[in-house]
Structure 1
């Protein structure tokens, strides 16, 4: 039911003229109409949520607003004056700051250098390191990022990089702040810290355009919300005048029904993978097994060893110790090439940096790990590549103008399907999936979940790492819970309970919980920079 009243007070700028307006903005790409005459107005001092499925046009509008792309038609206005940035620097000079979903950091530079890259403090012609680190420390403290200013960015995790991107906007003149999926990798504590910052900025008159697939966040922080669908403006409302179910219906154009595919109990088949004392770099020995027909979840805090373990299984990182058995036979996996040869597949948590070649076509990305099937005598058989790519597009319902479309232009959900199609074509019997729906909208999430469940029903074994606890409880047969580099326990589906799983996830930091195997640490919990992105159940989630 819609809420009877919005509990947040309206700001002092609520009745002011818009600080930014987009009127009739259009943008097309080959075979795709990304924006079809959309309007959007941002008032000073408001948080305005922009919602829609992947491919609805949100990110295209953000890139136009930030000067990355130009519209084909329509006009924009900033404080009543025509606004047509030709580049990112143009937008920044006029007070429009954009934090894109794809992080834009310089990995070889330090945290402090990234923060002030455009305005490094100098003394006697040289960079004033003391001043740089002092100012950087103040910004890092403001966003709750507990890292040294001199740390190279390439050593940070994705969640830490996201906070760094946000911190980078705080010292600059900002009339309009655009945040594209800013909380996708943040912990609840970090998200609340971000919301506190946003409230402080809006109190000064800054307009915030907030894009998120987490609707509970939208209803908590936004003053108004706009829904796009298929490149068109659907509605603009205040949160008090609608509810989550209606917003989802407006986004996808239909009733979604259940949040997750119905769970069908299956008798697991033969054991496909067994890890015995497997020790990832910096971790502790873990042992577990996967059987055909199972979807096994992996829960835990950031830094708990989840991603490190699947990377060690796949040979992306060399395991320190332990044995790996596939179909009952011990194998050595020293590289991803070995893993592919043995029927292992890995969908990485960062599909754009580690899972896709963005400027190559859909067809080329699908066949990347199965070149032997599309070549003869060292020469590419283009017809066979096209045939296999079309089969993948049809079987996974990939929405694309064509198989020769650069994969960069596809939405996040369709990009994830392309990576999934690649491993199916490679013949992976054991599929490890790290954060399968990060940055993916509600409609595409359901499709990805259904594909994973269908793969298990077809006899494959799946190991699914996710920070979204409802996701794991929705699709998994059992959940392995990691804590501080080791396996803290296992929870069967009949015993799924968010409190129990979270207790195991924190057990390595508190010295409690079955199987933690760690020394008590006086109740010490992770710092905000390394804490969990594990999201507990929210109202409306269906396990």
Structure 2
């Protein structure tokens, strides 16, 4: 690690109403794992999109191995040995792993794709990172972790020597995260240079050599990982000392609003029984693949259970579609916010009021002045950071996008809100804001059901937690009785169930 393999000097990038990058300089040493962190909206992903040629910087210079380069598109970045494993995987789910790995980089003989050679080379690159699957497997049949490794295989197949990992562990189990972090270290030993973006500070501190902190589009500091701790990183990210999040013990009265009896859907979940009270924060925990997301999807009407009954406010109710769920006073924040939660090309206002257009019609037309009033009211009420109501939601940080979706359901008048991984990809400060919002909502009588892979989050936030494993309910406990995340794992993996 005696020279810079990558230097981005004085990078500035402005979007309408927003200075996303302000004279940012980041220098990466050859053969290191370099952490890049900051709150949502700090400019990390924008900086990497400039590096990949997705965005063109207004000012600044990029040097690769000391040579000034111009990168106008991702193809030019790849030719320079730069590859990126993005947060949102861009695989084609309908073709094979091998086809995805060599997409745009096809192996040809006599002008035609040599499928035999393609599959053989795909196996070689996959095995080099410990992925042992048939190269002809259709990608949609692979797990999230396997798809992540196929994406990495695609980058490695281009011969990349600089690898950018953008939130690579967001959808992985604890065991899969350990495997990926070990793989990063292996790639480093093989001479690769890695830029690692994540909100999980423990991952950075255990894996990286140096860490660059960004805030509000500016570079704040760069430190040797061995010389810094989590509290200091958080303070640098936020620009102030952050109080450690602590559990708030609440009293929730027995006032049932939702009850599920014997809910079953083959290969997803089996014989699930629970009830939730008005104003309660009810958590659903367990390992990834436990059937948690599938369960709340069925309750909300995205899918249909094959067996079981649903009661709302004591009355048996059949919900056949999400629109049915909304009519019954339900709201839903999906796990994949960008893919299923927002309409990226639409504005903050359009995203917020989209379920309630019929309610704000005036003489047969949408009352846009009322829509703007509602939007501004919630922007102020829950502190959404946006230049205006007309700003495209895709330009907001993840935390602020999540606030817009929350405001959507609050404005609609939802009384039961399902949140699937509500803080995935969100920084420490934004997490605290989301937690406070959830507590405020439930104090006002809204019921919130939270699915989270972060057991500490469930223990910190929820009143009760239902633990699932492989589609089965293993127990429901008062969150105050759970001391560590290990307790949740032991119940999930144990033979006997526990109940409050």
SS in 2 for 1:368: helix
Alignment partners' CA distance in 1, 2:148 and 2:469: 23
User: Are 1:266 and 1:293, in contact at CA under 8 Å, matched by a contact in 2?
Assistant: no
Paired residue for 1:522?
none
Q: Are 2:4 and 1:18 equivalent residues in the alignment?
A: yes
Alignment partners' CA distance in 2, 1:123 and 1:161: 28
User: Are 2:235 and 2:242, in contact at CA under 8 Å, matched by a contact in 1?
Assistant: yes
Q: 1:137 to 1:335 in 2, by over 3 A?
A: farther
Alignment partners' CA distance in 2, 1:304 and 1:295: 20
Paired residue for 1:265?
250
Residues 416-462 of structure 1: CA distance to partner in whole angstroms, max 9, x if unpaired? 11111111112111111000011111110110111112111111111
Larger mean CA deviation between 109-118 and 470-479 belongs to 109-118
Paired residue for 1:454?
440
Q: How does 1:58-77 map to 2 (within 5 A)?
A: 58-77=44-63
Of 256, 260, 263, which aligns to 1:278?
263
Paired residue for 1:504?
491
User: Are 1:301 and 1:483, in contact at CA under 8 Å, matched by a contact in 2?
Assistant: yes
Paired residue for 2:320?
334
Q: Are 2:473 and 1:487 equivalent residues in the alignment?
A: yes
SS in 1 for 2:31: coil
User: Are 1:362 and 1:418, in contact at CA under 8 Å, matched by a contact in 2?
Assistant: yes
Q: How does 1:192-341 map to 2 (within 5 A)?
A: 192-260=178-246, 262-282=247-267, 283-341=269-327
Residues 456-499 of structure 1: CA distance to partner in whole angstroms, max 9, x if unpaired? 11111111000001000000111100111121111212321322
Q: Are 2:22 and 1:39 equivalent residues in the alignment?
A: no
SS in 2 for 1:85: coil
Q: Are 2:329 and 1:343 equivalent residues in the alignment?
A: yes
Q: 1:422 to 1:157 in 2, by over 3 A?
A: farther
Paired residue for 1:113?
99
Q: Are 2:449 and 1:463 equivalent residues in the alignment?
A: yes
The alignment's TM-score, normalised by the length of structure 1, stands at 0.88
Alignment partners' CA distance in 2, 1:267 and 1:482: 23
Paired residue for 1:9?
none
The alignment's TM-score, normalised by the length of structure 2, stands at 0.95
SS in 2 for 1:369: helix
Q: 1:459 to 1:374 in 2, by over 3 A?
A: same
Paired residue for 1:132?
118
Of 346, 349, 353, which aligns to 1:360?
346
Alignment partners' CA distance in 1, 2:312 and 2:177: 41
Aligned pair count reads: 497
Q: What is the Cα deviation at residue 160 of structure 1?
A: 4.0
- Kindly report the root-mean-square deviation, in angstroms, between the aligned alpha carbons of the 2 structures: 1.9
Paired residue for 1:411?
397
Q: Are 2:355 and 1:372 equivalent residues in the alignment?
A: no
Alignment partners' CA distance in 1, 2:327 and 2:142: 31
User: Are 1:76 and 1:84, in contact at CA under 8 Å, matched by a contact in 2?
Assistant: yes
Alignment partners' CA distance in 2, 1:490 and 1:505: 11
SS in 2 for 1:258: coil
Paired residue for 1:5?
none
Of 491, 496, 499, which aligns to 1:513?
496
Residues 154-213 of structure 1: CA distance to partner in whole angstroms, max 9, x if unpaired? 344544433332232222212211111111122233223223332232234322111111
User: Are 2:161 and 2:193, in contact at CA under 8 Å, matched by a contact in 1?
Assistant: yes
Alignment partners' CA distance in 2, 1:284 and 1:380: 44
User: Are 2:145 and 2:176, in contact at CA under 8 Å, matched by a contact in 1?
Assistant: no
Q: 1:452 to 1:159 in 2, by over 3 A?
A: farther
SS in 2 for 1:284: strand
Alignment partners' CA distance in 1, 2:448 and 2:129: 36
Residues 285-309 of structure 1: CA distance to partner in whole angstroms, max 9, x if unpaired? 2111110121111111222110110
Alignment partners' CA distance in 1, 2:459 and 2:130: 30
Larger mean CA deviation between 273-282 and 52-61 belongs to 273-282
Alignment partners' CA distance in 1, 2:245 and 2:199: 14
Q: Are 2:156 and 1:170 equivalent residues in the alignment?
A: yes
Q: What is the Cα deviation at residue 318 of structure 1?
A: 1.5
User: Are 1:143 and 1:194, in contact at CA under 8 Å, matched by a contact in 2?
Assistant: no
Alignment partners' CA distance in 2, 1:148 and 1:284: 31
User: Are 2:173 and 2:288, in contact at CA under 8 Å, matched by a contact in 1?
Assistant: no
Residues 309-360 of structure 1: CA distance to partner in whole angstroms, max 9, x if unpaired? 0100111112111111111111111100000000111100001111110000
Larger mean CA deviation between 157-166 and 348-357 belongs to 157-166
Structure 2: tracts of 5 or more residues without a match: none
Q: Are 2:425 and 1:442 equivalent residues in the alignment?
A: no
SS in 2 for 1:319: coil
User: Are 2:52 and 2:77, in contact at CA under 8 Å, matched by a contact in 1?
Assistant: yes
SS in 1 for 2:194: strand
Q: What is the Cα deviation at residue 364 of structure 1?
A: 0.3
Q: 1:399 to 1:24 in 2, by over 3 A?
A: same
Alignment partners' CA distance in 2, 1:466 and 1:133: 37
User: Are 1:275 and 1:287, in contact at CA under 8 Å, matched by a contact in 2?
Assistant: yes
Alignment partners' CA distance in 1, 2:266 and 2:461: 29
Alignment partners' CA distance in 2, 1:58 and 1:168: 23
Alignment partners' CA distance in 2, 1:339 and 1:197: 43
Alignment partners' CA distance in 1, 2:416 and 2:131: 36
User: Are 2:476 and 2:498, in contact at CA under 8 Å, matched by a contact in 1?
Assistant: no
Larger mean CA deviation between 214-223 and 371-380 belongs to 371-380
